[in-house]
């Protein structure tokens, strides 16, 4: 198992600027996604891979399982992404990206809100809010990249390659850096009229440094070196040719369909990982029991089989009871889920009541 070095900058002088830049880049990525959906609406191609959670992956799987056809799945991981990005490449990619988005938005300013974590474009500056022009945002990004210092064992080090994990804008900077390579590669395929490759690479998702590709017959794995620079080492992380773990999903191919169950990485560790609240803690009991319903919704959204859904509930109830939860109270929460979330669990085609209710006995 590998290690990742993470910095903490709670008292860093650039923390506030990093927050603003992170919110702006996140908004720019959202705008790039919407532009991609608009440009590719009537085409079998995809030039925006970035996702924020597992929902797009789950939505694709549910929709694709309704259609026949050969299925494949491959996952990849960028090893040491944050620590191996050359600053010249990083600055060049962010410059291209910011110029492109400001170009099609056709508004000179962006105004971030670090509390809502959103930003919006504007024709003018706000009198009482922080705002950035395109050139100012580029200057701020470059300043963050050039002035990354870390204190370790009493010594100060300047980061001359990569970006620190732990800084607020770090994930969005890395996301943008990789997105530019992906965008430019797809544009090259469009210019060359390679419709076969464009179709094969249509269903790809990337959550920061984790890639997943569906139904590409292994094409993405063969061209990773053409998309990304040599500094980016990308490894295939499939469990087997027909099974992989991606985010909190365990995805496999069974009888011509994608099957999804919950993947909990904490179970891979040789030690016990504390999770979910203890009822004797300081968290209000009502909030603690609310966690149970939220997890029932999560289990139902993820699992494509009712057996996986049952198994997840059984494991969770056992864990919560060991942490002081009352089985009768958990039973009431399940009944609330059962009666109010029919639209979520009805996909299984069976009544889940009789089997689940026995877990609380």
Paired strand residues for 246: 249
Residue 276's pLDDT is: 87
Please name the residues in contact with 87: beta carbons below 8 A apart, sequence gap of 6 or more. Answer: 145, 146, 160, 161
Say if residue 268's pLDDT is above 90: no
Residue 9's pLDDT is: 67
Map residue 151 onto helix, strand or coil. strand
User: How many CB atoms sit inside 10 A of residue 296's CB?
Assistant: 23
Residue 98's pLDDT is: 98
Length of the chain: 361
Rg over alpha carbons for the chain, rounded to the nearest Å, is 23
Say if residue 26's pLDDT is above 90: yes
pTM: 0.91
Helix segments in 65-210, DSSP class H:
87-105, 134-146, 170-192, 195-200
C-alpha atoms less than 13 angstroms from C-alpha of 298 in its C-beta half-sphere:
16
What is the mean predicted confidence (pLDDT) over 102-114? 95
User: How many CB atoms sit inside 10 A of residue 162's CB?
Assistant: 21
Cα 192-196-199 angle, rounded to 5 deg:
110
Q: Kind and range of the H or E element at 332?
A: helix 327-340
Q: Report the DSSP pairing between strands 118-122 and 109-113.
A: antiparallel
Pair of tokens at residue 111: 């105004």
pLDDT category at 3 given cuts 50, 70, 90 is low
Helix segments in 159-305, DSSP class H:
170-192, 195-200, 219-227, 285-302
Quick one: which of 356, 25, 88, 61 has its CA closest to 215?
Answer: 61
Question: pLDDT for 135-157, tens place per residue?
Answer: 999 999 999 999 988 888 889 88
| Rounded-to-integer distance, Cα 356 and Cα 303, Å | 15
What is the mean predicted confidence (pLDDT) over 46-63? 96
| Rounded-to-integer distance, Cα 329 and Cα 335, Å | 10
As a dihedral over the C-alpha atoms of residue 216, residue 220, residue 223, residue 224, rounded to 10 degrees, the angle is 180
What is the mean predicted confidence (pLDDT) over 157-172? 86
User: How many CB atoms sit inside 10 A of residue 281's CB?
Assistant: 11
Cα 297-302-308 angle, rounded to 5 deg:
95
pLDDT category at 126 given cuts 50, 70, 90 is confident
Arithmetic mean of pLDDT over the chain: 92
Question: pLDDT for 194-231, tens place per residue?
Answer: 999 999 999 999 999 999 999 998 999 999 999 999 99
What is the mean predicted confidence (pLDDT) over 159-165? 84
Residue 131's pLDDT is: 94
Question: pLDDT for 286-303, tens place per residue?
Answer: 888 999 999 999 999 999
> Which range has highest mean pLDDT (144-148, 183-187, 318-322, 345-349)?
183-187
Q: Report the DSSP pairing between strands 233-236 and 149-152.
A: unpaired
Quick one: which of 167, 253, 250 has its CA closest to 217?
Answer: 253
Percent of the chain with pLDDT over 90: 76
pLDDT category at 249 given cuts 50, 70, 90 is very high
Which own/partner pairs from 113-117 qualify as long-range (CB within 8 Å, at least 24 positions apart)? 113/23, 114/16, 114/19, 114/20, 114/23, 117/23, 117/26
pLDDT category at 4 given cuts 50, 70, 90 is low
């Amino acid at each position: 198992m590998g290690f990742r070095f993470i910095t903490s900058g709670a008292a860093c002088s650039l923390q506030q600027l990093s927050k603003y830049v992170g919110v702006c880049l996140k908004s720019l990525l959202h705008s790039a996604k919407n532009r991609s959906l608009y440009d590719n609406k009537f085409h079998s191609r995809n030039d925006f891979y970035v996702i924020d959670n597992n929902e797009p992956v789950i939505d694709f799987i549910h929709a694709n399982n309704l259609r026949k056809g050969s299925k494949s799945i491959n996952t990849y991981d960028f090893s040491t992404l944050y620590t191996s990005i050359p600053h010249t490449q990083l600055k060049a990619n962010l410059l291209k990206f910011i110029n492109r988005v400001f170009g099609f938005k056709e508004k000179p300013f962006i105004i971030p809100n670090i509390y809502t974590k959103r930003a919006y474009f504007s024709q003018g500056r706000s009198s009482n809010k922080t705002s950035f022009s395109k050139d100012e945002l580029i200057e701020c990004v470059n300043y963050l990249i050039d002035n990354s210092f870390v204190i370790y064992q009493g010594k100060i080090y300047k980061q001359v390659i990569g970006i620190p994990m732990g800084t607020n804008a770090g994930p969005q900077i890395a996301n943008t850096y990789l997105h530019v390579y992906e965008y430019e590669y797809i544009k090259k395929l469009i210019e060359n009229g390679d419709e076969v490759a464009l179709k094969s690479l249509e269903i790809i998702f990337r959550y920061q440094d984790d890639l997943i590709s569906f139904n590409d017959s292994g094409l993405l794995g063969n061209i990773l070196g053409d998309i990304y620079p040599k500094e980016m080492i990308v490894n295939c992380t499939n469990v087997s040719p027909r099974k992989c773990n991606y985010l909190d999903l365990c995805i496999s191919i069974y009888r011509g369909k994608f099957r999804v169950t919950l993947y909990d990485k904490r179970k891979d560790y040789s030690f016990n990982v504390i999770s979910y609240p203890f009822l004797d803690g300081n968290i209000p009991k009502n909030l603690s029991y609310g966690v149970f319903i939220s997890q029932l919704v999560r289990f139902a959204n993820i699992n494509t089989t009712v057996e996986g859904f049952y198994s997840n509930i059984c494991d969770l109830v056992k864990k919560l009871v060991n942490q002081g939860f009352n089985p009768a109270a958990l039973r009431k929460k399940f009944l609330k889920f059962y009666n109010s979330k029919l639209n979520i669990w009805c996909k299984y085609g069976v009544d889940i009541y009789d089997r689940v209710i026995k877990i609380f006995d």
